[in-house]
Structure 1
Amino acid sequence: MFSSMKNFLNRHRRKFVIGGVVIAGGMIAFRYAQRKLFEYQEAKAREFFERTRRTQHFETTERTCNQAIMGLGPNLIEQILKNLDADRIVADLRNNPNDKIVLWNKLKVLAIARLCALVYACSMLVITLRVQFNILGGYLYKDAIGNVEQVTSELQHSYVALIQHFLSDGCNSLCQLIETKVEHILSSYDLSRKLTLTETEQIFCSIQMAINSDANDPSTHLAKYVYPSDLPASTTSNALFEKMFNETIDMLESSDVSTLNANNVSRGFSIVMDNIADFYFKPVNGTAAVENGYSPKHITKASIESSTKVDDGEAGETLPNINTVSIPIPKLIPIINGLAKQQFNTTTQPPSLSTSLMTLYLISEKVKILGANTYEVFSV
Structure 2
Amino acid sequence: MLAGIKNFFYRHRRKFITTGAILGGGVFLIKIIQYKLRQFQEQQAKEIAERFKRMQHFESTERTCNQTIVGLSPTVSEKVQKELNTSEILEKLRSNPENKLELWEELKVLAFAKIVTLVYASSMLAVTLKTQINLLGGYLYKDTVEPVDKQVSVDIQTAYLSMIQYFMADGQDKLIKLIKNNVEIVMRRYSLKQQLTLADAETLFWSIQLALNNDELSPIKNIAKFALPREVNRSDILSKMYDETLDVLENTEVADVCLSNVSSGFSLIVDELAEYYSEADPGPSQEKSKSALNVDSLSNINEIKISLAKLIPIVNGLSTHHLGHTAGSSSNGLNGMDNRNGDMMSSLVARFMQSEKLKTLGTNVYETFCL
Post-superposition offset of 1:2: 5.1
- Counterpart mapping for 1:1-380 below 5 A: 3-147=3-147, 148-231=149-232, 235-236=233-234, 238-282=235-279, 308=280, 310=282, 317=287, 321-342=300-321, 352-380=343-371
* Aligned residues: CA RMSD: 2.1
Post-superposition offset of 1:264: 1.4
Q: Distance in 2 between matches of 1:10 and 1:149?
A: 70
Q: Distance in 2 between matches of 1:272 and 1:141?
A: 39
Deviations 1:171-205 (A, max 9, x none): 11111111011111112322232322222112111
| Partner SS state of residue 162, structure 2 | helix
Post-superposition offset of 1:72: 0.6
Q: Distance in 2 between matches of 1:144 and 1:311?
A: 66
- One-letter code aligned to 1:246: D
Greater Cα offset, 317-326 or 269-278: 317-326
- One-letter code aligned to 2:368: V
Post-superposition offset of 1:354: 2.0
Change in CA separation of 1:247 and 1:145 when aligned onto 2, cut-off 3 Å: same
Deviations 1:101-135 (A, max 9, x none): 11111111101111101111111111111111111
Tell me if structure 2 keeps the 8 A contact 1:74–1:343.
Answer: no
Change in CA separation of 1:16 and 1:89 when aligned onto 2, cut-off 3 Å: same
Q: Distance in 1 between matches of 2:198 and 2:308?
A: 12
Number of equivalences: 345
Q: Distance in 2 between matches of 1:351 and 1:52?
A: 39
Identity of aligned residues (%): 43
Tell me if structure 1 keeps the 8 A contact 2:74–2:345.
Answer: no
Tell me if structure 2 keeps the 8 A contact 1:223–1:252.
Answer: yes
Q: Distance in 2 between matches of 1:198 and 1:353?
A: 22
TM-score, length basis structure 1: 0.86
Q: Distance in 2 between matches of 1:107 and 1:24?
A: 94
- One-letter code aligned to 1:141: Y
Tell me if structure 1 keeps the 8 A contact 2:322–2:341.
Answer: no
Tell me if structure 1 keeps the 8 A contact 2:321–2:342.
Answer: no
Change in CA separation of 1:31 and 1:265 when aligned onto 2, cut-off 3 Å: same
Tell me if structure 1 keeps the 8 A contact 2:281–2:301.
Answer: no
| Partner SS state of residue 303, structure 2 | coil
- One-letter code aligned to 1:133: I
Q: Distance in 2 between matches of 1:218 and 1:311?
A: 42
Post-superposition offset of 1:94: 2.8
- One-letter code aligned to 2:318: L
Tell me if structure 2 keeps the 8 A contact 1:272–1:353.
Answer: no
Corresponding position of 2:331? none
Q: Distance in 2 between matches of 1:47 and 1:213?
A: 48
- One-letter code aligned to 2:100: K
Q: Distance in 2 between matches of 1:76 and 1:276?
A: 23
